[in-house]
Amino acid sequence: MFARRIVVVGTGYVGLTTGACLASLGHRVVCSDLDAAKVARLSEADVRIREPGLPELVREGLAAGRLEFVVGSASAVREAEVVFLCVPTPMGADGSADLAAVEAVTREVRDLLPHGCVLVTKSTVPVGTAARLRELVDRPDIAVVSNPEFLREGSAVHDFLNPDRIVVGSDTQDAAERVAALYARLGAPTVLTDAASAEMVKYAANCFLATKLSYVNAIAELCERLGADIADVTEGMGFDRRIGQSFLQPGPGWGGSCLPKDTAALLQAAESVDFDFPLLRATITSNERQRERMVDKVVEVCGGSLAGSRVGLLGLTFKAGTDDLRDSPALRVARLLAARGAELVAFDPGLRGDERDLPEQVVLVDDAYQAAKGAAALVLLTEWPEFRTLDWSRLAELLDGPVVVDTRNHLDPDVLRRAGLTWRGVGRPT
């Protein structure tokens, strides 16, 4: 397989991971971004995104001369064989994905692309976007390909280099095959399809995962009411290969920068073609309810009211291993607790303390012990592994009320009980 001259537009977590990983596969990659300061930093291998393995890959790519960072895409694309669009597609006012950045870049580069170049959408874009970009480019020699990413934040490099599958869709078969060939070394199953189907795979997969979680969270609630244990129930379900063990962990609801955005966008897309999708709507609304259920648990253990009570929070990021607060269920729960009058003191090992998105009612402290001091209850919201090995006897002494609400079923109830604490999980006997 020959090394390709690739341009990646946008150096967010998808673009930077894509660029650095493609360079590690032997391709020559130029990553472009509008932010000159960021380009200067990345050119020095200064990576500010928290992704294990990414700084190393960027450093190796730069040193080997296979990876380069430039400001703006105009000059970069003139020699490209393949251009990946990795710019943000945030949620627009009506829930659909906002394509302004994707379209702006396409307009900027369309007349500059060399003959036979392939334009690839990597960002999550609505079904029909490739067709729309083809019209916008309006050049018969330029093919548009959809190649959605399935990277999880916090394990993006691992996921890129060990993919479950590669999905490539285009209405030009040859272009799809050329893009698929970029990944040949990974030896992953490859689905070659048309552009609309590739775009749909991404939404269908993320919405399925969200539905799986909403379902598990509802079953956990039922377990609580009917006296079953969700940990054993999901274990028993997961051995069925058609279900699988992963993505069955109940929690305070699913969040992050992808699942909420993609569920809203697919629902909006369904509405736009007069398709009623109650299943997906229920997936979203029951996720909202899940956060409220967590708040109800805290209110209950605090004796029915939170007014004036201090509550300690363990974790604020949307999942462990990231510093990302976007659409974090933990933050939603925090806001709801604050609305009930609680005073909140939080610790999160992923945050530095200079975050701007924190609700003003949350005081961030440097460790779990400060978060527990004088609190009526301690609430675990994010599954950071280090929370498992906290000194629970010390925490029991510091807490005002000896209760831990574990919204992720992350802690060992026996350890907590031995420390004299009451443990309240989700869908499990107390």
Question: For residues 345 and 376, what is the distance between their CA atoms, to the nearest angstrom?
Answer: 11
Nearest distance, CB of residue 160 and ligand UGA, angstroms: 10
Catalog residues that contact ligand UGA under the rule CB under 6 A: 124, 149-153, 206, 209, 213, 247-249, 251, 254-256, 258-259, 318-319, 329
For residues 290 and 309, which CB has a smaller minimum distance to ligand UGA in the complex?
290
Radius of gyration of the chain (CA): 23
258 classed as catalytic = yes
Which of the following is catalytic: 86, 117, 207, 258? 258
**β-sheet bridge partners, residue 376:** none
d(CA 382, CA 393): 21
Give the Cβ contact number of residue 243 at 10 Å: 14
**Cβ at position 320, least distance to ligand UGA in Å:** 8
CB of 252 vs ligand UGA, minimal distance in Å: 8
Residue 26: CB minimum distance to ligand UGA, A? 24
Are 325 and 350 in contact by the 8 Å Cβ rule? The answer is no
CA distance 214 to 248: 10
Q: How far is the CB of 124 from ligand UGA (least distance, A)?
A: 6
Residue 296, by phi and psi: left (phi above 0), alpha (psi -120 to 50) or beta?
Answer: alpha
Per the CB < 8 A criterion, the answer to whether 184 and 1 are in contact is: yes
Write out the DSSP string of 397-429.
HH-SS-EEEETT--S-HHHHHHTT-EEE-SSS-
371-405 burial: b if 16+ Cβ within 10 Å, else e: bbbebbbbbbbbbbeebeebebeebbebbebbbbb
Determine the number of helices (DSSP H) and then strands (DSSP E) in the chain.
15, 14
Which residue, 73 or 214, has its beta carbon nearer to ligand UGA? 214
* Shortest Cβ 257–ligand UGA spacing (Å): 6
Bridge partners (DSSP) listed for residue 227: none
- Compare residues 153 and 199 and give the one whose CB is closer to ligand UGA: 153
Catalytically active residues are 258
